[in-house]
Structure 1
């Protein structure tokens, strides 16, 4: 397929999904561009809807509305209002035609159709024109095109050769308490830092401000709650954030989300209760950022996909800024100084893109992220604007990177002993805030038989800890037919897979720095482990060798592994949505995909699939529709569940451990779970493995950098 061509004064670059006029590039959906290209190849001819659908959406069943949306998008980009239909003409009950000159980058100019010949426009027939008059115009056109090409190539070379870098020269702590701080930002004048502070002892979360010069601290909020990252309005007077809590009357989810605001200057005088601007009971919102003193951008989740919306405070209304067809927005940042939105997204092809937008949603550029070897190809990137012209900055944990607006990632030399979050740059540059700290969790083993009589307070749990360390340990799994327990740990400085025989522990994996491991599963023969590392699946053998499965999609959660049939029960990202799937590892195209998402899922010994939804309800797939296990209503939680034989063991929101038999529908509460439990991870029928939180300490730090 041709990659570049002209439609009138518009330059079309298929490889970059862009249409450019007068150096103003707009990015459109690949399918819409394919529609334009097909019409261009049949310029002047009427192409039926069926032909366009077959050509562009090969093998995919879509409605004519999908094609109509693409046509509408093309007309908007081309400045065609659909009434005069200068570029794309609708032929009632027949189809569409492209009514404009088309010039292919590597070919000859195609003459427009008879309906738009020069003679019909009141001009002389082209064949009778004076050749001396047309030749200079042709030479001038070629010369202009040559200059445009040279300028574009030169600019591209200059931007690549002049890519600036950041060097970190100093890191210093700005807070020093036993609490957990997060989401640090500067005030616009750089006088204050604003951050969350969660007290483990009091179990209270509030937003605080600190005067950097005087070191005086101010508690801004007074209501107990869970808050998101926050943002100051351009005038510096208002603070906005998301407050999350249990829904009084859950509809589709347990949690409700409120967009709230706070008068920053008044809160400095004393803690305030935030004002609710908007509440979501059936969908999720996050990451609010002020665009103007009356408009707040935020991410909104419907079904499994996120889109970027603009909320008007005065009108109490919202409109979509940007959404990805069959894809999802993953993160964004806004620069008041530049007046631009930097947005990360995953598209239908499963690839990750960085897009630059104007606040009204106009796309300036869209480029695929070029992942370096140090970062997994499915790993999300959460960048923030830096002080550099075309560079954003992000963290993968112990390393910092910059990403350019054309998708190129470059490492900043800064190995850390503890992970940090993506930095927020000081208004005047030269410094940036980040969150640095550690999380300490341990693995414990608890007998099921006498569980109800056990003392599971914090002090007693210390006796049940397996190989105590002062870092994060999780995902413990019993070895089938063996004496070992596999678990993940950061005790070597990086998260790796470890083995324990009860007396000693040793590291099995050698994953690169900052590899994120979601979960692990033993093979039935106990000789290898399947690891969900950076959203990819790796089989790790006990001799240290490994096998990576080349899958076309990311694996966000690994629930279970049937090593004999080589299938992995997982949550995958497929065609713009999260889907529960049984992945056929040797032949992914043969995978069984369920038309549903899942929070957690397991299979019983007989092969019965059990999964939970956002409301914590338990379901079993049926021949026609899924069956709700009503006896377990209200028993699901984020603590997960495990299955031994035909018995489900789980923990509810009241921290009660319970069991349920699939054979006879018998339910019972076994006892109370530890108050500091993170997750229930495995059972062998006699013992339960759990991960418990020991401590969590995070602090706001400031990084000084030079260009």
Structure 2
């Protein structure tokens, strides 16, 4: 049994009798931990009182009160209680069950003898080549060339002859028992043993020199916070000399974002910019004198896109003295640009998107011109990174076969290698990964949340054994290679219900007071609350239940509540994510997009999967009556708005525009919102813009359609409605300014997600030598 394991966000270390979360450890009684461990070994199963007493207190007579005290200790350590029972559930007159997923942290015993380690190594090497199943039509395949002899073991069945000391008096030996070998037979035996000896020598040398050596692995030690303020800090990088850490700092209270630098030795901080605007990721020039980043802002006259993108440059040394106004190098009004990387030749590499496809370009600062570096005609580039030390670019991309690739190119665009990425079982098969260069030769590094991985140039992924208690992303290495920056954060939101009658009254109240800050004082009822994300609540048709997404158990899962208590319906693996869900018309099941795959979840937690060869990026709506769904899927890396027939898996592409949200009304009218937050309906010859809703779209995720009426939220946090048949628009009233999304509505109430806090900070991981 493993000495360490994870339950949600809690790290249990049996060797130290500790439970750790957020770097805070608690010492727990060994028997209490033994109870928790036995429940973990039987996760999801109801374990009786007698079974726990028999296995934990072997040979000792104790009462059930002792067991109950141990359960109470564990619940207290996990922040659980007898009412909510998120982790350990009590089953009346039956026993207990552990409801949260368990991740075991296996250790190899280094004290084993040499032969045992060799055998284990052979066995593990076979297992590792077969950790993913091949998905012939999927985006990410496992190892298609796995060891076909994995189920058969090579056995060295070498007999050892035991020599017995015979009496010196040979007359005691029967003459018939003496071996009778001819010279030819002895010569043949010698040749045979010589051949066996040579084969053994060759096998030993072959194993040492022909079997690939295991790649070097990372071992991390200290974790320390570099920024800890009430603001959000993100997009961190090191300066080329490693002396400074540069990052964004966004103050939500004042809606101010600026670029900052911190001296890693003196801890002194410097505000580098003074313009109040939004910035993207940034990059240093090779000499460390200039910073490049993307500034994103609203276009004065939007044509093809709502926001304009500017490539900016900042004099770093001057900005350390006083905040500077960045210089505009290039402006894009009809295309998107992102991820600037300053190359050694003084050009800046960028990803640029026209319509639905990204390409890698090189921008010359001195000549103010750009040229294409790399494009994929029948696929799409997803992300890239640049190595100053190697002067190489690594890209992740989709190809015409629909699979995900890692490619390495020179800065002139010459392709050096291209390999399909083979995912291990710890990563969902459709998940996008964003690898960065690392100090290990031919190894990249990336994060999926609470797990870190390396990726080889040949596309092989290896898990780094580093249990994290919180999600950490965008790992960036120090120029010296001995430490790494990551962004750690937590999003906290609640599910709120507001009476529709009160929302209507706030329109008059706020108009009279003309004090927008009064929106924060609106009365509402919190339906579900934790210190993590609770969101996307939807009402059960013809019922009293509410389905919602929550991270309270450590992973994003599907939950339901009746207002009195909550129940977790799913137990997806670590680093899972949910992207859309909808109730069946009869209210007996929910269709959910989990890890880019569609799964129908019933109220008794049973599941039915709908295997598709394309990853589902967003589930908009499910029509359970005709068994169809409106989806956003990724085909060869390109997002497509489609309608899926769940019965036969047939896909009908509606359009390949930038669709942010889409629904059908009860009468079958399709309405979708595009990337510019405009509302459209299909027409006889071309799609028609709903002009009455011009300017009513916002960055809030979606809209609702109930009884052929559209409901949405504008940038002023106002709830509005538009009757499709009457073509009548109305502002209903005001919602809290910290609203994140409108999720459901009926005749009496409005369900919304409100943001409590969104914390992000820069932390540094140090490598062990």
Indicate the TM-score class for this superposition, using the shorter chain for normalisation. Answer: 0.7 to 0.9
CA contact (8 A) 2:538 2:743 kept: yes
Shift of 1:591: 3.6
Give how far 1:160 is off: 4.8
Report the secondary structure of 1:510's partner residue.
Answer: coil
Match of 2:68 in 1: none
In structure 1, what is the equivalent of residue 655 of structure 2? Answer: 594
**Equivalence for 2:162:** none
Match of 1:693 in 2: 755
CA distance in structure 1 between the partners assigned to 2:735 and 2:725 by the alignment: 25
1:412 matched to which residue of 2?
464
Q: 5+ unaligned residues in a row in structure 2: which ranges?
A: 1-205, 510-516
Over the aligned positions, Cα root-mean-square deviation in angstroms equals 2.0
* Contact residue 643 and residue 651 of structure 2 kept, 8 A: no
In 2, Cα distance between the equivalents of 1:344 and 1:395? 14
CA distance in 2, matches of 1:158, 1:314: 51
1:559 and 2:611 correspond: no
User: How many pairs align?
Assistant: 554
SS of the equivalent of 2:667 reads coil
Q: 1:595 to 1:225 in 2, by over 3 A?
A: closer
On the 8 A contact 1:237/1:263 being kept in 2, the answer is yes
- For 1:300, the equivalent position in structure 2 comes to 352
* Range with bigger deviation, 444-453 or 487-496: 444-453
In the alignment, what sits opposite 1:646?
708
Q: Go from structure 1 to structure 2 and tell me whether the alpha carbon gap of 1:461 and 1:364 turns closer, same or farther (over 3 Å shift).
A: farther
TM-score by length of 1: 0.76
Report the alpha carbon displacement of residue 696 of structure 1 after superposing the two structures with TM.
1.3
The match for 1:492 is 553
Name the CA distance, whole Å, in 2 between partners of 1:176 and 1:576: 37
Among 527, 530, 547, the residue aligned to 1:466: 527
Cα displacement string for residues 534-562 of structure 1 (whole angstroms, at most 9, x for unaligned residues): 21111111111212211011111110001
2:410 paired residue number: 358
* CA contact 1:658–1:669 (8 Å) conserved in 2: yes
SS in 1 for 2:650: helix
CA deviations 1:84-103 (Å, max 9, x no partner) are xxxxxxxxxxxxxxxxxxxx
1:461 Cα offset (Å): 5.5
Inter-CA distance 507–462: structure 2 relative to 1 (3 Å threshold): farther
Q: Kindly provide the CA deviation profile for residues 378-431 of structure 1, in whole angstroms up to 9, marking residues without a partner as x.
A: 111011111100111111111111111111111112222211112100101110
Deviation at 1:292, TM superposition (A): 2.8
Give the direction of change, closer, same or farther, for the CA distance of 1:461–1:402 in structure 2 (3 Å limit).
farther
Q: Report deviation, 1:458.
A: 6.9
| Pairing of 1:516-555 with structure 2 (within 5 A) | 516-555=577-616
Conserved 8 A contact 1:619-1:626: yes
- Kindly tell me: are residues 535 and 160 of structure 1, through their superposed partners in 2, closer, same or farther at Cα, counting changes over 3 Å? farther
Change (3 A) 1:384 1:159: farther
Matched with 1:46 is none
**Aligned-partner SS, 1:259:** strand
Equivalent residue number for residue 767 of structure 2 = 705
Partner SS state of residue 715, structure 2: coil
Q: In structure 2, what is the equivalent of residue 110 of structure 1?
A: none
Q: Distance in 2 between matches of 1:567 and 1:631?
A: 29
Deviation at 1:575, TM superposition (A): 4.6
**1:314 matches 2:375:** no
- For the 8 Å contact 2:380–2:636, the answer to whether it is kept is no
1:623 paired residue number: 684
* Corresponding residue number in structure 1 for 2:474: 422
Matched, 1:664 2:726: yes
1:165-184 to structure 2, matched below 5 A, reads 165-184=217-236
**2:435 counterpart residue number:** 383
Moved more, 443-452 or 476-485: 443-452
Residue pair 1:494, 1:514 contacting (<8 A) in 2 also: yes
**Within 2, Cα distance between the matches of 1:282 and 1:462?**
43
Distance in 1 between residues matched to 2:491 and 2:278, nearest whole Å = 19
- Matching residue within 294, 316, 323 for 1:242: 294
Q: Is the 8 A contact 2:528 2:534 kept in 1?
A: no
1:599–1:613 CA contact under 8 A, matched in 2: yes
Question: 2:233 & 2:522 partners in 1: Cα distance?
Answer: 26
Pair 595,358 (structure 1): closer, same or farther in 2 beyond 3 Å: closer
Match of 2:98 in 1: none
Q: Distance in 2 between matches of 1:519 and 1:242?
A: 30
Contact 2:436–2:475, Cα closer than 8 Å, also in 1: yes
Q: Give deviations 1:554-575, integer Å, cap 9, x for gaps.
A: 1111100011211110111225
2:378 to 326, 329, 335: 326
Q: Residue 655 of structure 1 corresponds to which residue in structure 2?
A: 717
1:230-267, Cα deviation, whole Å (9 max, x unpaired) = 10011111101111111111111111111101001110
Q: Among 659, 672, 687, which residue is 1:611 paired with?
A: 672
Q: Runs of 5+ in structure 1 lacking a partner?
A: 1-153
Q: Which protein shows a greater Rg?
A: 2
